[in-house]
Amino acid sequence: MAWIVLLLLGAIWGASYLFIKVGVADIPPFTFVLGRTLIAALALFAVVAIRREGLPRARRTWLVLIAMGIFNGVIPYTAITWGELHISSGVAAILTAAMPLFTVLIAHYWTRDERLTTAKVFGIVVGFCGVAVLFLPELRQGVQMEFWGEFAVVVAAASYGLATVIAHKYLNGVSPIAAPAVQLGSTALWMIPLSLVFDNPWALRPSLQAAGALLTLALLGTAFAYILYYWLIEHTGATRTALVTYLIPITGIFWGAAILDERIEWESLLGLVLIIVGIGFVNRQRAPAPKAVATALAEGD
């Protein structure tokens, strides 16, 4: 049962890039992220109410969750959504998978229990070589919008990495459903003025396909995916659950090719292999994360 849930979660999170690609065709990035996070937050708050869980009370916890709303929501969600205006959903999924490479680098300088080792350094080098391979087609053509789309997704991966370290360091013991609910609600609040100022959302007339992609991403790819993730943490442990990191870019490429007819270039395949190998070395001999919101808050896209 656990393996089925793991594969399901990998397929759902990989499909998130497909839904973003479809939705952002008609809905501008700021408004798209606002809709995604607001709907997902309301769904998770409903789960919190049904389970009769309390919200965090400590002021410090709320401040951390607000920061998470920026580094795990506003920045990466917006960067990925904007980036997919210019690049394929499959490439976006592969580049976002570089998140653990940034996590281990940031953790080395910010924490005392996550130090760099020879294996981790090797993994970082291999993984970033994979990222560089993905940039080759754009570099050969000159710096155009495709380059900046890929760069935006790399920024998102770095922001996810920072959010992972923040969560691991400061959010131990917080409810695994209430925490992402508050974080997503915080993200939605940050996105409201951005949407109103830059997107003029009242004038938008998105297609049924785009609206459906947004709703599906919010409920399935964000809210429900968090629930699945924490079910896996509880029943299989953090180490096995972390295997989803390897599934997301693979399923992301599959959905893009199968549904959107995206071409799979050799650079994408080579970059994918190098990044996955790099992640493997980065995660080697790594202590399992605690049963908190540490890694999970920064996994969903």
Give the model confidence (pLDDT) of 49-78 as tens digits: 999 988 888 899 999 999 999 999 999 999
∠ CA 38-11-97, rounded to 5°: 80
**Distance between CA atoms of 96 and 279, rounded to whole angstroms?**
12
Q: Is 264 helix (H, G, I), strand (E, B) or coil?
A: coil
Of the CA atoms within 13 Å of residue 181, those in its CB half-sphere come to 18
What is the band of 298 on the pLDDT scale with cuts at 50, 70, 90?
low
DSSP state of 51: T
Are 253 and 268 a contacting pair, CB within 8 Å? yes
Tell me what pLDDT residue 241 has.
75
Residue 192 in this model has a pLDDT that exceeds 80: yes
Query: At 290, is the pLDDT very low, low, confident or very high (cuts 50, 70, 90)?
Result: very low
Measure CA 105 to chain center. Answer: 18
Q: Where are the domains of the chain?
A: 2-298
User: What does DSSP assign to residue 204?
Assistant: -
CA distance 75 to 218: 17
Joined together, the tokens standing for residue 268 give 């994408």
Q: Per-residue pLDDT for 182 more than 60?
A: yes
Non-local (6+) Cβ contacts of 233 within 8 A are: 176, 241, 291, 296
Question: What is the C-alpha separation between 97 and 137, in angstroms, rounded?
Answer: 19
Query: Among 6-20, 144-158, 282-296, which is the least confidently predicted range?
Result: 282-296
- 139: confidence class by pLDDT, cuts 50, 70, 90: confident
Question: pLDDT grade, residue 300 (50/70/90)?
Answer: low
What does the angle CA 283 – CA 14 – CA 28 come to, to the nearest 5 degrees?
120
The angle, 0 to 180 degrees and rounded to 10, between the axes of the packed helices 89-96 and 145-170 is 40
Look at residue 149 and tell me whether its pLDDT is greater than 90: yes
Give me 223's structure tokens.
Answer: 């809210």
Which pLDDT belongs to residue 174? 79
Amino acid of residue 14: G
Q: Are 174 and 61 in contact (CB under 8 A)?
A: yes
Mean pLDDT on 113-134: 92
Q: For all residues of the chain together, what is the average pLDDT? A: 89
Find out whether 85 and 24 touch, Cβ atoms under 8 Å. yes
Report residue 242 as tokens.
């972390």
Q: Which of 20, 4, 10 is nearest to 218 (CA)?
A: 20
